[in-house]
Structure 1
């Protein structure tokens, strides 16, 4: 099973990716986690990425595409994966199509989660308090939600036209959301 999990920040993509990863026995690959690891360990990529993240901006495509390609080629991803946080724009859809073509691994489905803007803001405010994340200031959150609406949300139409999109409500009991997703994916 090769899945994309998409939706605005705070909708529960990471939570559902982890549950689906466990259910299907495939890795959940979060570009955000990869960047946070590099930032924590002060790698060259981490230092560069932090410049963008602290301003509420997204890491440039070139860096992100390379990380994703390398990660999807790893042995633990041979039988499938769940990709969280990528693609986020039309250029990355093209890059992912090329990567999947090179790896001869077609995409099975796109799981899209959705929630009201106010719910997302409240969830991310709580996450910032719990995790102490520097990228979850109200200004940074608002900017990322705006970027998502302008750049990433339109990608759902691409996957809808390809017959791959499955949309779910991201509000409710976590286990019920997961059960609904699994039932729909089969």
Structure 2
């Protein structure tokens, strides 16, 4: 009985070794390189593009610089084939009483630069008393188009007085003011 228990366990049958695979030989044939005769040396470095947006709005306006063509205010704008169209156009604000919190809105500035020169644009919302309530600044590049649309997303603001609020736009040191009246019902 003990002898029967002492026999070693049966081992599984041996498996055949995996077949040996040979990798195919890879050959790449390259075309002959042309002779260097008649070739110029390394390419000359390109001249740097010196067109830059001005860093100082107080400088004199450059000839041929960008200008503001139109400005429109709205709750939002939708993009279309002919540019952006206002959704809920805003020509003035009508409030129940003062002080009053006005909701966020957007301003669309259509800029023109026949020479497609980059421009610095600064936009401010100014109260009737002259206080700057909101402001925004952008450096714009026209690329291949003469006309560019810039949308300014304004936060809401708290109106403390009735009167003509103004959107003041500086484009390359040229300033224009656009009234945005606020009236109490």
TM-score (norm 1): 0.23
Q: Does 1 or 2 have the higher relative contact order (CA < 8 Å, sep 6+)?
A: 1
Report which of the two has the higher share of strand.
2
Report which of the two has the higher share of helix.
1
TM-score (norm 2): 0.23
